[in-house]
Amino acid sequence: MPTHNPWTVAEAVLKESRRVLLRGKPGTGKTYAARTLGLLPGQKVYQLTMTPETPMAEIRGHFVQKGGEFVWHDGPAVRAWREGARLIINEIDRSSEDVLSLLYAIMDDPEFAELTLPTGETITPQENFGVVATMNGVPDDLPDGLQDRLVVDVHITEMAEGALARLPEDLREPARSTSLTDNPERSISIRLWMEFAGLREKFREEENGLMLAAQAVFGENAPQALAAIEIADTADPAINMLGEEIPEKTLISIKEYLEHTQKNAGHTQLLTITEGNLLDTLVVDDPDVFVSLTSDDPRVVFKGQTFRLRDFN
């Protein structure tokens, strides 16, 4: 049975279902997709990001003082109900018990859903009201009441192409590879890449502007991010940096690299290895350390130069 890209599934169900859960790693474009896919013409979007401290009143609404009286002010969930809008609830798994009681009512089956406000008014959701919830964890992190309501569950395992398209072309592949790494300490979200793209443009004329932008946004992951950009920009894979064609090899050592390029070892060199979408950075003190990779086209960035395994003899 053929499987579909998760974003193809997400786009299809967001057009038809009124309660959808998008879950997956941070920075894959879940919120961007929730704000853009499957909306009706002119349909409004309201967005929340939950924390354990988020009070129910912030979502439902509350009285505010206006002049000498208190006036009711609808919260985003109630406004979405009244207007038949889409309500996005980010990090729904972080909702407090106080908020959960409201979410159960807001996300109830449309034919039964109703809510009585502190004003005494009883409201029901307008046609086309829908909820898109997002989270980074798994459905079992949710209480049973939410699991029962969010039966349309789309596991996002790839970057949203629409979100990637907002980046400059040379940053799209680096963003894809670093956001999907299994190492959370190495993961770089698309939000960070968007910020980096803006700073890079502003610092373009400054000396060391690229590194300045990278350090400002990525912090200790700046070398990894710049290595990912360099790898994406690498040209002819069959030619090494010396312009020589070299046969393929599957086991290399830093010593072999140094002998081939006639450079000295030094210490604490930065070595970045990519395998498919995985990117890992090691600090190499021993020039005889061997690195064995098994992917079809692994590459190495060493001392600012990019190589594939076939670059070593």
Vertex 249: Cα angle to 247 and 252 (nearest 5): 130
How does pLDDT run across 248-261, given as a tens digit for each residue? 433 344 445 444 44
Residues 85-103: tens digit of each pLDDT: 999 999 999 999 999 999 9
Phi/psi at 276 (nearest 5 deg)?
60, -120
Contact in structure between 311 and 246 (CB atoms under 8 Å): yes
Mean pLDDT of 130-146: 94
Q: What is the rounded distance in angstroms from the CA atom of residue 24 to the CA atom of residue 21?
A: 10
Better-predicted residue by pLDDT, 185 or 306? 185
Which residues share a beta bridge with 275? 278
Model confidence at 159, pLDDT cuts 50, 70, 90, reads: confident
User: What are the residue ranges of CATH 3.40.50.300 in the chain?
Assistant: 6-156
C-alpha 63/C-alpha 39 separation (Å) is: 31
pLDDT number for residue 3: 63
| Contact assessment for residue 85 and residue 45, using Cβ atoms and an 8 Å cutoff | yes
CA atoms 248, 249, 252, 257: torsion sign:
negative
The tens digit of pLDDT for each residue in 59-77 reads 999 999 888 899 999 999 9
Share of the chain above pLDDT 70, in %: 71
pLDDT more than 90, % of the chain: 42
Is the pTM above the cut of 0.95? no
Map residue 251 onto helix, strand or coil: strand
Q: What is the dotted CATH code of the domain comprising 6-156? A: 3.40.50.300
* pLDDT per position as a tens digit, 193-231: 999 999 999 988 887 888 889 889 988 888 778 877 765
Mean pLDDT of 156-176: 85
